[in-house]
Chains A and B, each alone.
Chain A
């Protein structure tokens, strides 16, 4: 199993550009989520999904869109990048949110100029 994969590993954008961060898992997990990690702020939840076709907002959803058309994939879209979105983004998946551990991808380091 590859686990949770994320692409790209690094990305530089200009303000106003759009892009999609890819996330895929091969563990048949129902729950997937996106976090951003900033210095001194820990991990903050952007969006999450409890299954294909179902998504919901986390703590910091503004400026980001998600969709979940398949169990395996959970892409994160930046509609119009802003410098405040410079961060490290992590995707995670799990069988559920109760007693199940989260499996994390390696992260995408995004810089918005």
Chain B
């Protein structure tokens, strides 16, 4: 089935630092790839997505590029803010008849002023 491996957290950065959260996936076929964000006390919400190889998803200054050759979808942001403190989840969509949507362990980001 489809699955992901994310870098372990927590990740602690100073405000305005550069952020990378690594995500690699295994999948049947070529699923869409998603990053979700969970703010404290809330459910997950979509941050960005990419639907095919070489697509770049972007939102709120975050970016991720669908790399088929390395099966990766790393999340990046050039300058993090305190308000970006949250847990980030990478997830592949369903593909090739595989219907389950599974998530990794998530990566907790803490940004300090």
**Chain A residues with a Cβ under 8 A of chain B:** 4, 31, 33, 35, 40-45, 48, 50, 56, 58-59, 90, 92, 94, 96-102, 104-107
Q: Which residue of A lies closest to B48 (CB)?
A: A101
Partner of A98, one of B31, B36, B44: B31
List chain A residues, Cβ under 8 A from B101. Answer: 31, 33, 45, 48, 92, 94, 97, 102
Interface of B is mostly: loop
CB <8 Å contact, B42 and A43: no
Partner of A42, one of B32, B93, B104: B104
B83 at the interface (CB under 8 A from A): no
CB <8 Å contact, B105 and A35: no
CB <8 Å contact, B43 and A98: no
Q: How many Å from the CB of B37 to the closest CB on chain A?
A: 11
